Amino acid sequence: MDIRTVPAICDNYMYILADPYTHQCAVIDPVESHTLLTVIHSEGWNLTHVFITHHHLDHSGGNEFLKDNPETQNVPRYCGEHCENVTDLIVDGQIFNIGGIIVTALLTPGHTSGSMCFYAETTSGERNPAVFTGDTMFTAGCGTFLQGHGTAEQMYYSLNALGRLYPSTSVYPGHEYACNNLEFSLAVEPGNKATKIKLKDAQAATLRRPVKADVTTANFPNTPVPNPSTIGEELTYNPFLRVNERNILKHCETSDPVKALHILREQKDYFNIYKVLPRKPKTSPRKCPCCRSPSRKTDSVQMCKCCESPGKRTCC
């Protein structure tokens, strides 16, 4: 199973999934289809499937080019929700074959109501699968819950489903957000050693990442991009996958993992702008009911400074 990561636009990733034996291939989220076709031609591959994770144009924008191109107009284009220039709507659990590669569509609502992830494994049974997550899950992060299209409850279900995949499953997200996400993760769990290690790796990889793929050079197939994480790794540092963990629930001041996920997503939106966690609202000190001065708790009884004598404890 050969996977090529191709940067696009600003921080997007497109992917080519190829069977090295039959030379059949599929593309995932071809926003700049002409770039992918250049790579496919250079490798001598045959495009047989186009998979779209969701309808947003920064993932599906290349469909029109594929539809109008005589070479690719008959290649089926699949998505789990209404999307321009898609030939087929797919459902959860639908299976496709690209040579000796089995691709399973996974319905993962949350970012949009019909978001799909695509799980790929070889027919040989090797435990080196991959999952293409679009905007559902990123390195150390997850997508926003867009009003009218996704909810925290849906995202919780979807992330749990991804978290149950083989720990060795490589994760290929739709965007390069690793550094920002890991900085947020570290703010949420300052003592998480796995987060600190991954952040250093991501920062080093980002320095090597091109802004856009250069397909005009012979070295294009070796264009440096960050190594994918795995499901097993994500479970150690992705706070959105860890909402059942005690540290995360304590941080969010709740025992409900769905509510914790909602709180984390709101904090992440704030962090994206200000690079710090939002401040918690200050609570006003309790007042002594008799003299209205700040009170303190002693022996389970609230007392103010002027009412601390045993005889007056009951008044506070």
% the chain with pLDDT above 70: 82
| Predicted pLDDT of residue 311 | 47
Lowest mean per-residue pLDDT among 112-121, 274-283, 284-293, 297-306: 297-306
| Predicted pLDDT of residue 225 | 67
pLDDT per position as a tens digit, 154-185: 999 999 999 999 999 999 999 999 999 999 99
Is pLDDT larger for residue 151 or for residue 146?
A: 151
Indicate the pairing of strand 12-18 with strand 24-28. antiparallel
Please give the Cα distance from 105 to 213 (Å, whole number).
Answer: 27
pLDDT band of 294, cuts 50, 70, 90: low
- Catalytic residue set: 54, 56, 58-59, 111, 135, 175
Query: What are the φ/ψ torsions at residue 24 (nearest 5 degrees)?
Result: -80, 150
pLDDT per position as a tens digit, 45-54: 999 999 999 9
Query: What are the φ/ψ torsions at residue 52 (nearest 5 degrees)?
Result: -115, 125
CB-based burial of residue 196 (10 Å sphere; 0-12 exposed, 13-18 middle, 19+ buried)?
A: middle
Q: Is the pLDDT of residue 288 over 70?
A: no
| Predicted pLDDT of residue 144 | 95
CB-based burial of residue 93 (10 Å sphere; 0-12 exposed, 13-18 middle, 19+ buried)?
A: exposed
Indicate the pairing of strand 2-8 with strand 12-18. antiparallel
Across the range 127-142, mean pLDDT stands at 95
